[in-house]
């Protein structure tokens, strides 16, 4: 049996409480599973910046909650690179200038959290199709594994990433994405819960198979992550709403 530290025990107990909340929100529980941990790599950080921690409704965006996988020091945006590797013809390491040069897409999207709240924002970034034109995935590459600066990891299929309105976002509400919201780059997947949209992305690896993300591995959340019918508590509106499942477009 693995030895559990007190911190891991407390985390597991917390996840048990979140499981009850998830069930109330219409999330399908899943069984235990194993998942790889992303390889560690040198990530340039901003000297002198304190680690980001979980926050609730920061003053500069009163209608949002902020959730992190674990505390981490914000990335130095000038030195940050997005590494794309695996089953692609043209792997590479891309700066923000490289990515901003891709065709720009703007959209207004409501993000739904598995904790039952949601919030709406204007996002800007690029699509999977634009990135795929550059790196040229091989035909057998059907899944993409994401590794993040805070240690978080997630996996989505190429078909999911290619859906309309799925966006690699580097701007939020007409300004560069803030560190607190996942800068320099995060994924917006409107039909799915927020945990399927990794933040502070540093690496994408094209693969032939699905790897379970962090929360579906350690918690009672589905690997699919599609928003289920149930109740939503929109932070920017206040009154709870009933939802049918999938992307929230009614409000």
Q: Quote the pLDDT of residue 30.
A: 36
Task: Give residue 10's pLDDT band: very low, low, confident or very high (50, 70, 90).
Answer: very low
Mean pLDDT of the chain: 83
Which pLDDT score is estimated for 198? 96
Rounded Cα gap, residues 246 and 236, in angstroms:
19
Query: Cα angle at 78 between 77 and 82, to 5 degrees?
Result: 65
Q: Is residue 235 part of a domain?
A: yes
Residue-wise pLDDT for 89-132, tens only, equals 999 999 999 999 999 999 999 999 999 999 999 999 999 999 99
pLDDT band for position 24 (50/70/90)?
very low
What is the pLDDT, as a whole number, of residue 59?
44
Within a domain: 177: yes
Domain range for 173: 6-33+78-243
How distant is the alpha carbon of residue 144 from its chain centre? 13
SS3 state of residue 99: helix
Q: What CATH number does residue 122 fall under?
A: 3.90.420.10
pLDDT reported for residue 37: 59
How many separate domains does the chain show? Answer: 1
In whole angstroms, give the CA distance from residue 89 to residue 66.
37
**Domain contains 210:** yes
- Residue 72: its pLDDT value, please? 82
Comparing 20-34, 169-183, 222-236, the range with the smallest average pLDDT is 20-34
Model pLDDT for residues 54-95, shown as the tens digit of each residue: 655 444 565 677 777 788 888 899 999 999 999 999 999 999
Asked whether residue 165 is assigned to any structural domain, the reply reads yes
Grade residue 47 by pLDDT with cuts at 50, 70 and 90: confident
CA distance 148 to 198: 7
Contacts 24+ apart (CB under 8 A), 172-180: 172/121, 172/122, 172/123, 172/124, 173/61, 173/121, 173/122, 174/122, 174/124, 178/60, 179/49, 179/52, 179/74, 179/75, 180/52, 180/55, 180/58, 180/66
Residue 158 domain flag: yes
Q: Are 203 and 83 in contact (CB under 8 A)?
A: yes
**What is the pairing mode between strands 117-126 and 105-112?**
antiparallel
As a whole number, mean pLDDT of residues 5-19 equals: 35
Pairwise CA distance, residues 110 & 249, whole Å: 8
Count how many residues are written for the chain: 251
Question: Does residue 236 lie within any of the structural domains?
Answer: yes
Stated as kind and residue range, the H or E segment containing 134 is helix 128-135
Question: Is residue 181 pLDDT above 50, yes or no?
Answer: yes
Tell me how many helices (H) and strands (E) the chain has.
Answer: 5, 14
In a domain, 140, yes or no: yes
Residue 20 has pLDDT above 70, yes or no: no
Q: How confident is the model at residue 1 (pLDDT cuts 50, 70, 90)?
A: very low
Query: Does the structure show a pLDDT above 60 at 7?
Result: no
Predicted pLDDT at 51: 74
Domain-located, residue 132: yes
């Amino acid at each position: 049996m693995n030895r559990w530290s007190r911190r891991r025990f407390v985390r597991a107990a917390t996840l048990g409480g979140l499981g009850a909340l998830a069930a109330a929100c219409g999330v399908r529980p899943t069984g235990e599973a194993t998942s790889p941990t992303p390889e560690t790599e040198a990530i340039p950080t901003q000297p002198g910046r304190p680690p980001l921690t979980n926050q609730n409704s920061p003053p500069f965006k009163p209608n949002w909650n902020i959730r992190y996988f674990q505390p981490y020091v914000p990335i130095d945006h000038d030195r940050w690179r997005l590494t794309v590797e695996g089953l692609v013809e043209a792997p590479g390491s891309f700066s923000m200038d490289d990515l901003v040069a891709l065709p720009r897409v703007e959209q207004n999207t409501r993000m739904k959290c598995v904790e039952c709240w949601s919030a709406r924002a204007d996002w800007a970034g690029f699509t999977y199709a634009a990135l795929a034109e550059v790196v040229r995935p091989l035909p057998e590459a059907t899944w993409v594994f994401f590794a993040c600066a805070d240690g978080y990891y997630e996996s989505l299929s190429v078909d999911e990433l290619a859906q309309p309105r799925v966006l690699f976002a580097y701007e939020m509400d007409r300004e560069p994405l803030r560190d607190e919201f996942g800068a320099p780059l995060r994924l917006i997947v409107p039909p799915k819960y927020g945990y399927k949209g990794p933040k502070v992305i540093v690496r994408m690896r094209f693969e032939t198979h699905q790897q379970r993300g962090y929360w579906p591995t350690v918690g009672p959340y589905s690997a699919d992550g599609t928003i289920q019918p149930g109740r939503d508590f929109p932070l920017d509106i206040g009154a709870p709403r009933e939802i049918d499942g999938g992307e929230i477009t009614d409000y």
